[in-house]
Amino acid sequence: MGGYGDIQMIDENGLRMDGRGPGDVREISIQTGVVPVADGSCRMTWGTNEAIVAVYGPMEAHPRKIQRQDRAVLDVAYNMAPFSTTDRIRPGFNRRSREISKVTKDALESVVLLNLYPRSKIRVNIEIISAEAGTRCVGLTAASVALADAGIPMTDLVVSVASGKINDVVVCDLNKEEDNYGEADLPMGILPNSGELVFLQMDGDLSQDEFKEAWDYNMEAASSIHEKMVEALKEGA
């Protein structure tokens, strides 16, 4: 979050710079089965974000020292392609990609039935090929679809979405300018069937009422995004 200063990101009619209302989500499209060599895969576009996720496994865990006798190991790697932003990104893991990989892994471990595959490994590769804002949310949501596409049993899908505050107004699904210059950001990982959370982060300051408004926006968005996820999985079956 940066300071918004004199930048006006929402007009007197309540419309944002990209024409959306406060509670509107950017356009989303989801495809499954996009990586033929993977056991499951997903391509998700969310605004101008685009992520491709490939899932491999369950497979035997190597080296053997990483094996768990009672469950599978979930190996999650989040990466932004060097060409995904206007500023070239140095290839390879960095602190941000490691942090997002861990957050994503923790969220997915709460729904994947790892106990069904002892001494095994399930590999989840998340590649961001176009980045606008909210790539951790896109990556986690797409990874959930890819796991389901691979036939990995889960208790629920995970939908991740972020709301925040711009010019003292709470809005849903921040775009790049809103993310850069807004006053707060509240990304959440939501289990749509139960309403439970698998992760929550906050950057910036929200009052109690603003927090509730952002929470409600995220929950409403998660419900509509979940419908798109289920529809994509049915179409790819």
Q: Tokens 């999985």 appear where?
A: 233
* Owner of token pair 């711009």: 166
**Residue among 169, 138, 130, 172 nearest 13 (CA):** 169
| Residue 60 confidence (pLDDT) | 85
pLDDT digits (tens, 9 = 90+) for 125-138: 999 999 988 999 99
Q: Supply the DSSP string of 213-224, one letter for each residue.
A: HHHHHHHHHHHH
Average pLDDT in the chain: 92
pLDDT in tens, 2-49: 444 567 888 888 899 899 999 999 999 999 999 999 999 999 999 999
CATH of domain 28-236: 3.30.230.70
Q: Nearest Cα to 53, choosing from 104, 93, 2?
A: 104
Burial of 180 (0-12, 13-18, 19+ CB in 10 A): middle
Q: For residue range 146-186, list pLDDT tens digits in order.
A: 999 999 999 999 999 999 999 999 999 999 999 988 999 99
Please tell me the predicted confidence (pLDDT) of residue 94: 78
Tens-digit pLDDT profile for residues 191-213: 999 999 999 999 999 999 999 99
Give percent above pLDDT 70 in the chain.
94
At 125 the three-state DSSP class reads strand
